[in-house]
Structure 1
Amino acid sequence: MNFAIGVFDLFAYTIPGALYMAFFGYLGAKLHVLTAASVGGVPTVVLVVVIVVLSFLLGYLAYPLGEALERVVPRRRRRNAAEEFVRRMPSAKDRLYLKESPHLLLGAIQLHDKDIAVDVSRLRASGLMVRNCAPPLLFGAIAAIVEIFAGRHPFIAAGMAALLLLASLTLVSQGRKLALWAGMKTFELCFWLPEIDEKLTADEVSRKSA
């Protein structure tokens, strides 16, 4: 049986899940639940498979945490992908497809040319990866704050807490930026799709007449 993880799954779930694994591994070592002897006794192949599978599952289960953190962190400014695209391409302001969801438009791009749609999928996956990596870093910052009072190196722990907290907030911001770029890329590619406005117009007419 072949087991494969797609690029989207790797970016959006597995890599953030690996950070959760690292955090729980740190807690396990601190609580003396995990030891070098217990881990070293597991065959390497089995250990790698277990880590990959658990990373994917943790990333999938913790996906809502990334969404929640993005809602909590304040935005410096709200930017709309369609508005940004029109600002850069004024001639497209009357195009009908700009009113549609970027996710629906991505499906249209994939039907037209899957290879071209890869660029949008890559940006979306990268944005989700960056955003979903923020919560485990925030948990790491909280653990570092605890280490300030309970550990032997409070100054190092304080520095790590500040660094991890800043990294977590920065990742949320960068995730939003990548999501904006993915939306703009979607509109840019749809600008050149043949007859996309005609198809949307026909669909709207059929809905109204139904």
Structure 2
Amino acid sequence: MGKKVLAVLTGKSEATIRAVGGSGDWAIRPSSVRDLEYVVCVRHANPPYDPGPGARPEQHGEAFLVGKVVDLKFSYHHNGRDRFVVMCSEMASVSGVKDFWDGSRVPTRYMDEDEARRRGIDFDELDFKPITHEEGQDDLEGEGGSSIPTSATARHEVASSVGVMPLTILAAKKGLAANFHVPIEDIEIIIRG
């Protein structure tokens, strides 16, 4: 059996996934991802909500991004289940891998490297690039139209002035929900300007 692969059906853009440094927020058990080598992001063209900005040119079921898995990070608790982000050290864009998804209604699917290869992904041929904190930020905007600084210098200046990195409303809600062990829907943020 080859290396362990997790395929995820996601509505998030490549820019968003790269900016986060991984794919989430998945209701998976940490024990089930032990020895996980890769995550394959597959386009969900009709998600019930659009989790963030960024282009989504792929067809439904088409693989578009592969990450080398390094960690699983708790994201938040919702409907009695913990959700996690599958964190990556490197990512590679893929194109032309149509019909990678098998039609399963569950958005996460485990397979081995051989099955992923039969579906069209040759991990040895991918051009993996290290993930950087700045990656993908140029295409992102926070909720309410407030944009995230697009350069590392601008983000550093904002961070230095307030002592923390800028967040989107969604990221802040997720963090607060995780900290207080409440559903994300129970978090309200009011900004008075």
Tell me the TM-score range normalised by the shorter chain.
under 0.3
- If asked which structure has higher relative contact order (CA below 8 Å, sep 6+), I would say 1
Q: TM-score, normalised by structure 1?
A: 0.20
Larger Rg: 1 or 2? 1
Whose strand proportion is higher, 1 or 2?
2
Whose helix proportion is higher, 1 or 2?
1
Q: TM-score, normalised by structure 2?
A: 0.21
